[in-house]
Amino acid sequence: MILKTYPLGLIGTNAYLLIDDESKEAVLIDLGGDFHLIKDELEKNNAALKYILNTHGHFDHILGERDAQQYFKVPVYVHEDDKYLVENLPKQLERFGFVANTLPPEKVITFTQNDIFKIGDKEIKVIHTPGHTPGSVCFLLDKMLFSGDTLFYTSVGRTDFEGGSFAKLSDSITQKLFKLDDDTDVYPGHDSKTNIGYEKKYNCYFGANNI
Ligand SMILES: [Zn+2]
Ligand SMILES: [Zn+2]
């Protein structure tokens, strides 16, 4: 499995490109900006993009998706509880003080907890982790967790935006993510990677050493 990280868009949100080297199938997780680096990587590997998955519906994770969807002709997926955020992309931009000149992807398909996406013969599992937004999810592929804005290196996502809940975030992290194996690598929506074992100890909100 090839994994590439691209910090893109207005606030450098991580887009993750997974390419299965056997089947040459590829999956993109979040796309906050221009897709051309991703296109180059796909061509270099002779791979075909299968779909775009979203960890949640915030503007900085979806800004490049309309263009990418039109170019690659792939479906865009988001959890059913965050579909309204994707559809309200221009409103979100306005609210955060940016120019509202980007349209959302045209067709968005929803998924729920426990849905599974395939890449080659591997499975990407959906873990619903509400809190940062109602429809925030993490994607688990073997020992790689794509955590969106739920869990960061020594930190967690904000819960003061519309639809946020610190109580739900707390449950999502302690009851779901911290039950994963300690050596699960965590690839967040912003900044650098971490792993579950490290966060269980040192996370500023939920780490054992800080409580
Ligand atoms: Zn967010
Ligand atoms: Zn974000």
Place of tokens 């409580």: 211
Confirm if 20 and 119 have CB atoms less than 8 A apart. yes
Please give the C-alpha separations between residue 97 and each of 66, 101, 130, 135, in angstroms, as whole numbers: 21, 12, 25, 23
Q: Yes or no: is domain 2-210 CATH 3.60.15.10?
A: yes
Put simply, whether the predicted model's pTM sits higher than 0.85 gets the answer yes
Which amino acid makes up residue 67? D
56 C-alpha to center of ligand 1: Å? 7
23 C-alpha to center of ligand 1: Å? 32
Q: Which residues have a beta carbon within 5 Å of ligand 2, which is an ion?
A: 60, 149, 189
Confirm if 64 and 35 have CB atoms less than 8 A apart. yes
pLDDT tens, the chain, 211 aa long: 999 999 999 899 999 999 999 999 999 999 999 999 999 999 999 999 999 999 999 999 999 999 999 999 999 999 999 999 999 999 999 998 998 889 999 989 999 988 899 999 999 999 999 999 999 999 999 999 999 999 999 999 999 998 999 999 999 999 999 999 999 999 999 999 999 999 999 999 999 987 6
103 C-alpha to center of ligand 2: Å? 18
Q: Which of 79, 75, 56, 55 is nearest to 66 (CA)?
A: 75
DSSP strand pairing (144-148 vs 185-188): parallel
d(CA 171, CA 161): 18
Place of tokens 């590829």: 26
Q: Which residues contact 137 (CB under 8 A, 6 or more apart)?
A: 55, 56, 79, 113, 126, 127, 128, 129, 148
